[in-house]
């Protein structure tokens, strides 16, 4: 770690880990320029000054904890950036708030971390803080979501092809429902986020020229509660008989929609078909149960690749700008076959 300003990192608690000399600290950081405070958790490898100098300090700016997918992604990152693997991880979850996330990244810069990893809440607004990281010579790796800023401002990205996910979902919809008049409502992810933008674009392109008509599209912010309340609004406006198909940008919103459909006395998966993206455990179970009709996977297990990229970049090795992880897709039969062996 280059430098650390303890004055801006007031430690609130210290808990001994099972490994001798390792500590987990939770504290509050304050961004001097904005005065904003955010919660951070630090897991640090111990073993004396000599060992500490080999440790790679990484600030990870996570979006928040909006979905089952996000929990699996956070676990994957924390496992990969562990002290056993030679890291000290400073973890910040921004509760889906773009300004709080940028502020967290600024705090990492002020703390002089060795590298910063970001899962950006939204695509826009990153230029200034990425420039600040570059000026401080702190490499930035993106995981999961992308940014609209220049590629020169970060070292690499690892994640999924969100547009291809939307295309896969849309192609299946077109094949199943494209020949009959189908009224579709969309539950969008967080406004301005890469997956919401790209999945919408991919799906729309795949259903072009079919008889699927988008009658409404609103954000449910990638949360189960958001999906439920937007779906309740759709049902109030169009009635259960006025909606044939839901395209939810993630499983959690689809699961919220199921609750709203059942509360309205209709049968999800039959009266109203549902297509989602993610393939987390709860979503896959709903697919096996026939309440969801099709799921396109979005693999959250990106930790090992992200940690590998950080090590390579810090070692001065050449890396590509983008690494795509493969996704699959599941109908009911395919989900039943794999559900017990899925790690998330
Ligand atoms: O960026 C990936 C998306 O973010 C996942 O599909 C969603 O569940 C999460 O919140």
Q: Which two tokens stand for residue 277?
A: 């993206």
What is the pLDDT, as a whole number, of residue 36? 44
Q: Categorize the per-residue pLDDT at 306 as very low, low, confident or very high, splitting at 50, 70 and 90.
A: very high
Determine how β-strand 56-62 pairs with β-strand 37-44: unpaired
What's the whole-model pTM score? 0.88
High-pLDDT (> 90) share of the chain, %: 84
Determine how β-strand 140-144 pairs with β-strand 87-93: unpaired
pLDDT in tens, 219-241: 999 999 999 999 999 999 999 99
- For 333, other C-beta atoms within 10 Å of its C-beta total 9
Angle between helices 98-111 and 127-135 (to 10 degrees): 10
Residue from 69, 75, 200, 248 whose mutation best tests the ligand 1 pocket (most atoms within 8 A of CB) = 69
Question: Is the model's pLDDT at 168 over the cut of 70?
Answer: yes
Q: Categorize the per-residue pLDDT at 41 as very low, low, confident or very high, splitting at 50, 70 and 90.
A: low
Instruction: Find the helix or strand (DSSP H, E) in which 172 lies.
Output: helix 162-177
- For 108, other C-beta atoms within 10 Å of its C-beta total 28
Domain 5-161+300-326: assigned CATH number: 3.40.50.2300
What is the pLDDT, as a whole number, of residue 40? 61
What is the pLDDT, as a whole number, of residue 307? 98
Listed residue (6, 48, 44) closest to 28, CA to CA: 6
Pocket of ligand 1 from Cβ distances under 6 Å: 66-67, 69-70, 144-145, 195, 222, 250, 252, 277-278, 298
Listed residue (21, 141, 123, 134) closest to 80, CA to CA: 141
Q: Which CATH class is domain 162-299+332-341?
A: alpha beta
What is the pLDDT, as a whole number, of residue 219? 98
- For 48, other C-beta atoms within 10 Å of its C-beta total 8
What is the pLDDT, as a whole number, of residue 37? 44
Tell me where in the chain the CATH 3.40.50.2300 domain(s) lie. Answer: 5-161+300-326, 162-299+332-341
Question: Is the model's pLDDT at 87 over the cut of 90?
Answer: yes
Closest approach atom of ligand 1 to CA 249: 6
Q: In DSSP terms, which residues pair with 156 in a beta bridge?
A: 141
């Amino acid at each position: 770690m280059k430098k650390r300003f303890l004055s801006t990192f007031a430690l609130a608690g210290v808990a001994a880990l099972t490994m001798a000399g390792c500590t987990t600290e939770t504290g509050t950081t304050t961004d001097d320029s904005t005065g904003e405070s955010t919660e951070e958790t630090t897991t640090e490898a111990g073993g004396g000054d000599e060992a500490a100098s080999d440790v790679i300090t990484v600030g990870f700016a996570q979006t928040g904890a909006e979905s089952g997918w996000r929990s699996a992604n956070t676990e994957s990152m924390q496992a990969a950036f562990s002290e056993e693997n030679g890291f000290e991880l400073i973890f910040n979850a921004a509760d889906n708030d773009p300004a709080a996330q940028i502020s967290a990244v600024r705090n990492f810069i002020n703390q002089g971390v060795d590298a910063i990893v970001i899962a950006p809440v939204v695509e826009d607004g990153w230029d200034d803080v990425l420039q600040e990281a570059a000026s401080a010579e702190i490499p930035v790796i993106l995981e999961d979501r992308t940014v609209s800023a220049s590629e020169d401002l970060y070292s690499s990205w690892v994640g999924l092809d969100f547009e291809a996910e939307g295309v896969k979902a849309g192609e299946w919809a077109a094949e199943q429902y494209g020949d009959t008049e189908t009224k579709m409502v969309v539950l969008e992810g967080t406004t301005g986020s890469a997956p919401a933008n790209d999945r919408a674009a991919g799906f729309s392109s795949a259903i072009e020229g079919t008889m699927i008509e988008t009658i409404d599209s609103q954000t449910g912010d990638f949360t189960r509660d958001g999906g439920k309340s937007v779906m309740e609004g759709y049902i109030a406006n169009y009635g259960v008989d006025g909606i044939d198909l839901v395209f939810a940008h993630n499983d959690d919103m689809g699961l919220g929609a199921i609750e709203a459909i059942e509360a309205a006395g209709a049968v999800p998966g039959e009266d109203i078909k549902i297509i989602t993206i993610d393939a987390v455990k709860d979503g896959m179970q709903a697919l096996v149960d026939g309440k969801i009709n099709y799921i396109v996977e979005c693999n959250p297990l990106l930790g090992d690749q992200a940690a590998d990229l950080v090590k390579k970049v810090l070692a001065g090795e050449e890396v590509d700008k983008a690494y795509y992880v493969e996704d699959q897709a599941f109908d009911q039969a395919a989900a039943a076959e794999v559900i017990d062996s899925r790690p998330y």
